[in-house]
Amino acid sequence: MLANQIGQYSLILGLFFSILIIPVSIKNFNKNDQIIDSRIISISFLQFFLVLVSFCGLILSFINSDFSNQTVYNNSHTTKPLFYKISGTWGNHEGSLLLWLLVLTLFIFLFLIKSSKQPKKYRILTLIFQQIIIIGFFLFILITSNPFNYLFPVPNEGLGLNPILQDPALAIHPPILYLGYVGSSIILSSSLAATVQKYISKDWAKHIKIWILVSWIFLTLGIMLGSIWAYYELGWGGFWFWDPVENVSLMPWLCLTALLHCILVLEKKLLLTSWVIILSIATFTLSMSGTFLVRSGILNSIHTFANDPGRGIFILVFLFILIFISLVIFFSFHKKNHSKNIKIYWLSKESSILINNWFMMYFLSVILIGTVYPIFLEVLSSEKISVGPPFYNKLIIPFLIIFLIFMSVGPNLNWIKSEFKKIDNKNIIIFIISLVISFLIIIQSDSKSLINTILISSAFYLFFVTVKDFFSKKYKNYSQKISHLGFSLLILSILLNNFFSSEIITNLKVGEKFSFQENHITFESIENKESKNYKSIIGHFRIEDKKGSLIKLKPELRIYDYPFTITSEADIKTTIYSDKFLVMNLVKGNEYFNIRYQLKPFMIWIWISTLIIVIGGIFSLFNKTYEK
């Protein structure tokens, strides 16, 4: 009760302070000194603190199961374990927006502290742009999705959290993803401010690079966690489904990755300035559109929680206002630096990064079209279509091959100009080796085609080249090498996983047995179990593979009461070579269970390689020495 009230009022007070910042900063902006008014920093801390109080208030309401709060009533239940009561705070629309706001205010405060070496006017302008976004979110929360709505009479019991959201990976997935999304808002504000102040320089690049890196790291981690959740919890036996909501997190990632590469060029050579600004705008716009698509219910997806058009309209209007402001600023303040006229040679690091950008933009537009086209088509012609994996595979795979080859060449080029050296013998040997290996691999698989061979061999080539570079004696840019190694490993494991996954679906009852690729699977028994907030049926399976080693798998069916849902928990046996994945489902009114058994090679490597990519990013945060 009390926590609820405190939360509500501190949120309103927070809005007051965030509006107050604007006149104070404008006044300070016009003063001719180099010191930022300390009041501004205090107010922005206050703003963050009040949102924090409000967020804690919401968490407390969840912990105490205070059902006079509508959000708690809709998303919690007394029998839920404490951990999921807390994670339920951001597992719903209202709470997750409050988390957005919390991160927004935290980031601008950190930005103010960390940027003390930057020019004052640039800092204040960044703050003002950021405040516009923050106020927008404040209003959005208070008007359309207040997490502190009061219910009277107070219900005795809540409706419960959607069971598929009750998963450890998903408990931390939204906060991490949001850190990435929100970080991109700082990048937007900062690059707009830098454009207005004509402060796009090497210094600026050096300073904003850290923010780009941080958001990129969080975004990558966030996407990975989401994917892990989909693999373990949804029980569809895959890690990426090209679901609109997944795409929506991948698009800012592609943009941010391109931006990360561009900012390096800007930092060294003061080139690609327009690219940097446009990518900054695009990254945040795409993150916001992500929020719009997920939250407005315009898309049909497993992630759509809220179905309130009023909210959608608010985000939509807000999003387009931001786009308009950004575009107008970009076009009226950004002047290209014609005087310098640096020539870009085609065989140089700059041009390879530019090529990287074009590829990123291509992948981005494929995904964007695949995600948004169905909506446009439905509005314009009221025809409903859905775009699935074949679309993405067809459009992305051929270009991926060229992209991988460029990626193996690019990082080894020099800045400004590389000589077209004699083609290295080593590289030819590596290329031939990868061709042979992939040929041998493809012959083993079911999908023998030329394009697959080329695809795998280019992935192998990239992998070998990055491994070779990793141990070479030249200058060492560890962060780049680690990340690229991770990426090549990721592509390789995804491809091998795709080609060699096999599955069988069958109906079994207790005591029956079936064989699949020399594996013998026996359904031994079922067991009923009661847990705190669900009942479960556990199947005991014994799997004997061709070498005679035994493993036991226990897939589970969980029957939740609040709200009534049945989820199936896959049991997965992970080894470094492959995953054995078993999931069972009820067949209505029958003693049979529907069993799906999958062999997924190299599954764990997908997560490991993503982690390696992230580690590369973290390395670069602490790496103060740059290649010259």
Partner 1 sequence: MKNKIFLISLLLFFSFCFVVLFKGLNNSNVYVPKKTTEKTLVNFVAKDFFTEKEIYFDEIFIDSEFYILNIWSSWCLPCRKEHPKLMQLSKNKSLKLIGLNYRDNKKNAKKFINKFGNPYSSILSDRDGTIAIEWGAYGVPETTIIDRNKKILKKFIGPLDDKSIKEINLIIK
Residues at the contact surface with partner 1, assessed by CB under 8 A? 292, 296-300, 309, 312-313, 316, 320, 323-324, 327-328, 331, 375-376, 378-380, 384, 589
* Shortest Cβ 320–partner 1 spacing (Å): 5
Alpha carbon distance 47, 42 (integer Å): 9
Q: Based on CB atoms, which residue is closest to partner 1, 61 or 326?
A: 326
Q: Based on CB atoms, which residue is closest to partner 1, 103 or 188?
A: 188
* Shortest Cβ 104–partner 1 spacing (Å): 23
Residue 628 CB contacts under 8 Å (≥ 6 apart), including other chains: none
* Shortest Cβ 509–partner 1 spacing (Å): 16
Long-range contacts of 539-546 (CB under 8 A, 24+ apart): 539/584, 539/593, 541/571, 541/582, 543/519, 543/580, 543/582, 544/519, 544/520, 545/518, 545/519, 546/518, 546/519
Q: Which of 221, 238, 231, 236 is nearest to 178 (CA)?
A: 221
* Shortest Cβ 296–partner 1 spacing (Å): 6
Q: Which of 621, 610, 543 is nearest to 226 (CA)?
A: 610
The string over 541-557, giving b where at least 16 C-beta atoms fall within 10 Å of a residue's C-beta and e elsewhere, is bebbeeeeeeeebebbb
* Shortest Cβ 295–partner 1 spacing (Å): 11
Alpha carbon distance 53, 71 (integer Å): 17
Residue 211 and residue 239 in contact, taking contact as beta carbons nearer than 8 Å: no
- The single residue listed with the structure tokens 């569809």 is 236
DSSP 8-state code for residue 547: T
* Shortest Cβ 453–partner 1 spacing (Å): 41
Residue 474 CB contacts under 8 Å (≥ 6 apart), including other chains: none
* Shortest Cβ 323–partner 1 spacing (Å): 6
* Shortest Cβ 376–partner 1 spacing (Å): 5
- Residue 321: CB atoms within 10 Å: 12
Q: Based on CB atoms, which residue is closest to partner 1, 88 or 370?
A: 370
Task: Tell me the C-alpha to C-alpha distance, in Å, between residue 187 and each of 207, 284, 359, 573.
Answer: 11, 8, 22, 42
* Shortest Cβ 299–partner 1 spacing (Å): 8
Q: Based on CB atoms, which residue is closest to partner 1, 376 or 577?
A: 376
* Shortest Cβ 284–partner 1 spacing (Å): 15
Q: Based on CB atoms, which residue is closest to partner 1, 325 or 396?
A: 325
Residue 333 and residue 277 in contact, taking contact as beta carbons nearer than 8 Å: no
Q: Which of 138, 126, 181 is nearest to 329 (CA)?
A: 126
Bridge partner list, 543: 521, 551
* Shortest Cβ 331–partner 1 spacing (Å): 4
Q: Based on CB atoms, which residue is closest to partner 1, 86 or 323?
A: 323
Residue 456 and residue 495 in contact, taking contact as beta carbons nearer than 8 Å: yes
Q: Based on CB atoms, which residue is closest to partner 1, 105 or 296?
A: 296
* Shortest Cβ 314–partner 1 spacing (Å): 10
Token digits of residue 545: 């593979």
Q: Based on CB atoms, which residue is closest to partner 1, 309 or 563?
A: 309
Q: Hey, which bits of 155-200 come out as E strands?
A: none
- Burial category of 264 from C-beta neighbours within 10 Å (exposed 0-12, middle 13-18, buried 19 and up): buried
DSSP 8-state code for residue 199: -
Q: How many CA atoms lie within 13 A of 529 on its CB side?
A: 14
Q: Based on CB atoms, which residue is closest to partner 1, 324 or 358?
A: 324
Cα radius of gyration rounded to whole Å, the chain: 26
CA quadruple 273, 355, 403, 399: dihedral positive or negative? positive
Alpha carbon distance 597, 584 (integer Å): 9
Q: Based on CB atoms, which residue is closest to partner 1, 60 or 298?
A: 298
Q: Based on CB atoms, which residue is closest to partner 1, 328 or 451?
A: 328
* Shortest Cβ 161–partner 1 spacing (Å): 23
* Shortest Cβ 304–partner 1 spacing (Å): 9
Q: Based on CB atoms, which residue is closest to partner 1, 220 or 273?
A: 273
- Burial category of 301 from C-beta neighbours within 10 Å (exposed 0-12, middle 13-18, buried 19 and up): middle
Q: Based on CB atoms, which residue is closest to partner 1, 316 or 397?
A: 316
- Burial category of 399 from C-beta neighbours within 10 Å (exposed 0-12, middle 13-18, buried 19 and up): middle
Q: Based on CB atoms, which residue is closest to partner 1, 132 or 435?
A: 132
Q: Based on CB atoms, which residue is closest to partner 1, 255 or 299?
A: 299
Altogether, the residues listed in the chain come to a count of 628
* Shortest Cβ 378–partner 1 spacing (Å): 6
